[in-house]
Amino acid sequence: MLRATKAKISKSLSGVAVTRFLVCLGAAMVAVAALSPPAMGVSPPVGPLPEAGAVAPATAAPLGGSGLVAGPIRASDGFFLRDQYGRAVILHGVNAVYKRAPYVLYNDPGQPNDFTSADASQMASLGFNVVRLGILWEGLEPGTDPADDPAVCTPGKPGDPGQLDMQVLMSYLAKVKQTVDLLGSYHIYTLLDMHQDLYSSVFGGEGAPPWAVCTDGLPTAMRPGRWSHTYASPALDAAFEHFWNNDVIGDLQGEYDRTWGIVASFFRNDPWILGYDLMNEPFSRSFLMAGHQELDTQIECFYTGRSYPGVEEITGMAVTCPPDDPAEGLIPTIEANDPTHLIFFEPDIFTREGGTNFIGTMNFPRLVFNFHSYCPFRNPVTGDPVDAEACADHVLSTVAKRLTDRGDLGSPSQPEGPGAFMSEFGATGNAQFLQDVTTGTLGDFLSWTYWQWKFYDDPTGSSDEALVDPGGQLKSTARALEQTYAQAIAGTPISSSFDAATAAYTLTFAPDSRITAPTVIFVPSDAYPSGYCARSVGAAVISAPDASHLELVNLGNAPTAKVSVTVTRCSAPAVASPPNPA
């Protein structure tokens, strides 16, 4: 467990000699240049495809103003993600998902799905360094057949449904690549999210193309009231059940996997891809009625395939998969096409309000346990909490459960368990609630993405979810997410805190002498109108006096087992004093 690790480290850090350094810095923001991560890539099993970008190898660690998170991110160290220099990485960001045709955000002037440099610039100004960018199966493989077509939905041995058009798919990916590149130019990573709610646009949601909807002929009309009421539709149940059992001749899971494999192959060399979110909020009411654990078993089989069965969380026994599930599941398919980027797997939708996770151990090397946390006590239209304090407590309680779950998911490939990431929370206009949640998770060094950037006429969302108003201005909720926080730490994190009222920030970590790259802390200028004062113990500041990112290098000659940093408001602008000599 993370807190146990912190306590264990802290116990050995008393009575250590330290070197002190005080510097007051101005508050002006500076632009940040992009870095070149190391080369990577393999020949894709799906066949030759255009590559999304080749990169040159990096050698020495950056110093003085160029030390932002760099290279492919790995998840081989338990809870903490690490960059190419070995630093612990913390990512804060936002979802950007467009759920209507053309199902992708890119530079499309005059259209509601237009995504521009103004968006990316605003994100960077808030300290965001990751975007969970929506991609949709219906956009990638729209096909031509309608729902319930016997050519797809007839029960029987799965085979090629004949719906894939590579020209359409490549055109779609080129638009996604444009947005990935734009975000990367602002040093923002992209987590590609294969998004779905209500399975498909056939049910008023988004995700699967109509040809992949098999309802056994049941009516597909939406239920009255809030969109989520349609989760009770028998037709939706049937569609999900056919997908999880993969029991029709259209090979629904196999085609989903094949499409993901092409996406992974396309982006396998892209330096700004963080990883792949396999499916948003997996659901099935039918399997839930049969047993919550049974649903998670079906999801786990979908992730691994029959050839690599995972382990049941409760019994510890290997799961038994449906006989027609692909032998090679979604995770091995992606790994075969991209052996570098991370794979983010989600538990079922019911865990997002604190339900039990039954997804068990899966033996793969680059997994991140990716969860959502929402409050059930909120307005069904706006998404705003009925009681902000109670909602914050509930969300943080769910976070604590999921972090405990993560520690139970160790495998031979990841003995300390997978990494952790909260890819959705919020969807609200209540700034105080968001402030309470994000300051509450700061001490856990949890990476997150808020839901979501703009409303985008969201058919399955909440009306107050956007951080940006229709005029393009940041709302108060955006400012509530803007906080001082460490983005890269040259060692093992121990503790961190931020007081939104006073802007006082603290960080302690155990330094790693093998890491020469700096610790990097984002400092928002809005929080420090007269500049910020930084005090470090066991490290020296190397960043410019007006830097938006405070950078510190560990003092190699200091006999210290702990580095501490504090950032506070300065009473008046001051000139930086020189660091103590190393």
pLDDT in tens, the chain (582 residues): 333 333 332 332 222 222 223 333 333 222 222 222 222 222 233 333 444 443 222 323 433 346 899 999 999 879 999 999 999 999 999 999 999 999 999 999 999 999 999 999 999 999 999 999 999 999 999 999 999 999 999 999 999 999 999 999 999 999 999 999 999 999 999 999 999 999 999 999 999 999 999 999 999 999 999 999 999 999 999 999 999 999 999 999 999 999 999 999 999 999 999 999 999 999 987 666 655 678 888 999 999 999 998 888 778 888 999 999 999 999 999 999 999 999 999 999 999 999 989 899 999 999 999 999 999 999 999 999 999 999 999 999 999 999 999 999 999 999 999 999 999 999 999 999 999 999 999 999 999 999 999 999 999 999 999 999 999 999 999 999 999 999 999 999 999 999 999 999 999 999 999 999 999 999 999 999 999 999 999 999 999 877 999 999 999 765 568 999 999 999 854 444 444 433
Helix axes 166-184, 252-266, angle to 10 degrees: 50
Instruction: Tell which residue, 259, 300, 264, 268, has the closest CA to residue 282.
Output: 300
For Cα atoms 43, 48, 50, give the angle at the middle one, nearest 5 degrees: 100
CB atoms closer than 10 angstroms to residue 223: 15
Residue for token digits 């998902």? 97
Q: How far apart are CA 161 and CA 150, in angstroms?
A: 11
The residues pairing with 133 across neighbouring beta strands, listed in sequence order, are 96, 192
Helix (H, G, I), strand (E, B) or coil at 69: coil
Helix (H, G, I), strand (E, B) or coil at 463: coil
User: If you write DSSP's letter for every residue of 262-283 in order, what string do you get?
Assistant: HHHHHTTT-TTEEEEE--SS--
Q: How many residues appear in the chain? A: 582
SS3 state of residue 400: helix
Q: Are strands 532-537 and 20-25 parallel, antiparallel or unpaired?
A: antiparallel
Q: What is d(CA 396, CA 469) in angstroms, rounded to the nearest whole number?
A: 27
Rounded to 5°, the CA angle 406-409-410 comes to 115
Return the SS3 of 417. coil
Q: How far apart are CA 154 and CA 250, in angstroms?
A: 8
Preceding omega of 282 cis (within 30 degrees of 0): no
Residue 19 token pair: 């070197």
Neighbours of 290 (CB within 10 A): 12
- SS3 label, residue 46: coil
| Burial class (CB within 10 angstroms; exposed 0-12, middle 13-18, buried 19+) of 532 | buried
Tokens representing residue 267 in the block: 């982006």
Angstrom distance (rounded) from CA 489 to CA 351: 30
Domains of the chain by start residue, with CATH: 1-27+491-582 (2.60.40.1180), 28-60+86-482 (3.20.20.80)
